[in-house]
Amino acid sequence: MKPVVTHQPGEPAEPDPPEPLLQLSVRLHHPLVIQVGITTTIQGRWALYVTVPSDATVPIPEVESQAAGFPVVYEAEPAAPPRAWPADPPN
């Protein structure tokens, strides 16, 4: 399976992410992981968020084992950074 292009997080079931998930987001390492963060699943569970190359096959067993039972959301890293536009373009 390929990673999603854009993840749509759900409303968190709990107000704050658990401390073990916060610690995990700082120490997770894998050669295919480009960025690591925290998000929620569509159902509202706190989850590990990772971006990987768009052609990567997910789930990645080594990442899943480091996740310690937390869900992992895989999103495809964009080919190019988003283009910023002025908030109020001149007329």
The pLDDT assigned to 79 comes to: 80
Half-sphere exposure of 9 (CA within 13 A, CB side): 15
What's the domain count of the chain? Answer: 1
Q: What is the pLDDT of residues 74-84, one digit of tens each?
A: 999 988 777 77
Q: What is the pLDDT of residues 36-52, one digit of tens each?
A: 999 999 999 999 999 99
85, part of any domain: no
Q: Which amino acid is at 57?
A: T
The pLDDT assigned to 91 comes to: 65
Please name which of 27, 22, 54, 52 lies closest in space to residue 38, comparing C-alpha atoms.
Answer: 22
The pLDDT assigned to 32 comes to: 97
81, part of any domain: no
- Give residue 27's domain range: 19-76
What gap in Å lies between CA 9 and CA 39, rounded to an integer? Answer: 6
82, part of any domain: no
The pLDDT assigned to 80 comes to: 77
The pLDDT assigned to 88 comes to: 72
> The whole model's pTM is what?
0.84
